[in-house]
Homo-oligomer: A and B are copies of this chain.
Amino acid sequence: MSNSIIQIHKTSSDSKARTGEMILPHGPVETPAFMPVGTNGTVKALHHSTVNDMGYKLILGNTYHLFLRPGIDLIKEAGGLRKFTGWKHNILTDSGGFQVFSLAPFRKIKEEGVYFRSHIDGAYHTLTPEKVVRLQEGFGSDVAMVLDVCTPPEIEYREAVKALEMTTRWAARSVKEWKETDDAYEGQLFGIIQGNFFEDLRKRSAEEIISLDTPGIAIGGLSVGEPYEQFRDLLTYTAQFLPHDKPRYLMGIGTPEYILDAVENGIDIFDCVLPTRIARNGAAFTRDGNIALKKAPHINSHFPIEEDCNCHACRTYSRAYIRHLFKAKEILGPMLVSEHNLAFLYKMMEEIRESIREDRFMAYKKKFLSRYKAKK
């Protein structure tokens, strides 16, 4: 379609994997793409320039966190989130739905919106679908997400129905508000499919959200603690309903195995705090699986995390030294492993895109997984 924000260059014959380019206000983004998470407007322990130099052109911010601190007034005064943070490329902001709903019992959902107490100082706040759109307009987010109603695994069917229905109503209100934002605001709005772990509800939510015709569509509420098989089955089931001419965003995934499943199901973008979170605890991605650098076997590993990795950490420092940094509680430890893990994922995404262009994605996936063992 003419006003689609994604151009698909190649679709696999062996799966639903696809590669292309998403067109956003601050430059194109090659897809499929992993988005590093910068909850507070910083990808933890990394300079923006480091993230940029790796190749990332789209990072995440979080509306809930940025709304509470430093607050919308300051960000607007600075000229938006990009000017405030110094990040030059695209920013997608999550709506904060997931964060607010994690605050239970310190939050209450009403038709109007969600009432909650700040995790920082206990102060009372309200977020409505409209307000969340306006906050993201104020941030200047390149992609804004609708406020949705997130639910944990193993809730009752009728609870899931209620959440789904409210998510749809809130999405409709968000779209209406987004259409009324200032003409100068170029950000794209993405709807979010919910439906918990019930197939019929996933289908219904997909249909309702897709009917709102937002520029992009996200799948929310997966990878929230459910067993892997359930995640994969619901992903596959839900993804089949997604339109081809819109970016498809699977929220909250970013480990190599999950990424491969997402791409196989035609997902274009995804995000996760995990690659940088585990890094701050000394866990590094390698082609042979994750390694825990704090553990004893690395005491005298006088070689890099990965011999053939081109990241700054691997070009300069040994596992033994990085282990020492973690043992001595030195900030450089988290800095180095965070950089490596994001460099690892960027390289993996480059390989994935190449494999799709060459129509050998499933072979790539199989080869990758034959070597990669997640739980090492």
Residue of B nearest to A325 (CB): B42
Pick from B49, B320, B328, B335: contact of A331, CB below 8 A. Answer: B335
CB pair A320–B48 under 8 Å, yes or no, is no
B residues near A77, Cβ cutoff 8 Å: 300, 302
Contact with B along A44-88 (1 / 0, CB 8 A): 111111000000000000000100011000100110000011100
Q: Does A363 contact B (CB under 8 A)?
A: no
Among A23-31, A154-162, A166-174, A310-318, the stretch in contact with B: A310-318
B residues near A320, Cβ cutoff 8 Å: 70, 74, 78, 84
CB pair B47–A312 under 8 Å, yes or no, is yes
B residues near A65, Cβ cutoff 8 Å: 328
Chain A residues 234 to 270 lying within 8 A of chain B, measured CB to CB, are none
CB pair B84–A49 under 8 Å, yes or no, is no
Q: Does A140 contact B (CB under 8 A)?
A: no
B residues near A10, Cβ cutoff 8 Å: none
Q: Does A216 contact B (CB under 8 A)?
A: no
A40-B324, A321-B41, A327-B69 as given contacts; A332 in contact with B74, CB under 8 Å: no
CA distance A299 to B41 in the complex (A): 16
Q: Does A334 contact B (CB under 8 A)?
A: yes
CB pair B331–A331 under 8 Å, yes or no, is yes
CB pair B330–A42 under 8 Å, yes or no, is yes
CB pair A325–B40 under 8 Å, yes or no, is yes
B residues near A327, Cβ cutoff 8 Å: 69-70
Chain A residues 73 to 108 lying within 8 A of chain B, measured CB to CB, are 74, 77-78, 84-86
CB pair B86–A317 under 8 Å, yes or no, is yes
CB pair A85–B331 under 8 Å, yes or no, is no
CA distance A318 to B77 in the complex (A): 13
- Kindly name the residue among A47, A78, A300 whose own CB sees the greatest number of chain B CB atoms within 10 A: A47
Instruction: Return A334 CB to nearest CB of chain B, in Å.
Output: 6
A70-B324, A332-B47, A334-B331 as given contacts; A318 in contact with B78, CB under 8 Å: yes
CB pair A85–B44 under 8 Å, yes or no, is no
Residue of B nearest to A327 (CB): B69
CB pair B321–A85 under 8 Å, yes or no, is yes
CB pair B45–A84 under 8 Å, yes or no, is no
B residues near A321, Cβ cutoff 8 Å: 41, 78, 84-86
Residue of B nearest to A83 (CB): B302
Q: A45-B331, A47-B332, A49-B312 are in contact. List 5 more A-B contacts (CB 8 A).
A: A44-B330, A69-B327, A77-B300, A331-B334, A335-B335
A-B contact pairs, 28 of them (CB 8 A): A40-B325, A41-B324, A42-B330, A42-B332, A45-B331, A45-B335, A46-B332, A47-B332, A47-B335, A49-B312, A49-B316, A65-B328, A69-B324, A69-B327, A69-B328, A70-B320, A74-B299, A74-B300, A74-B324, A77-B302, A78-B300, A84-B302, A84-B320, A86-B316, A86-B317, A331-B334, A331-B335, A335-B335
The 5 nearest A-B residue pairs measured at CB:
A45-B331, A40-B328, A70-B324, A86-B316, A42-B332
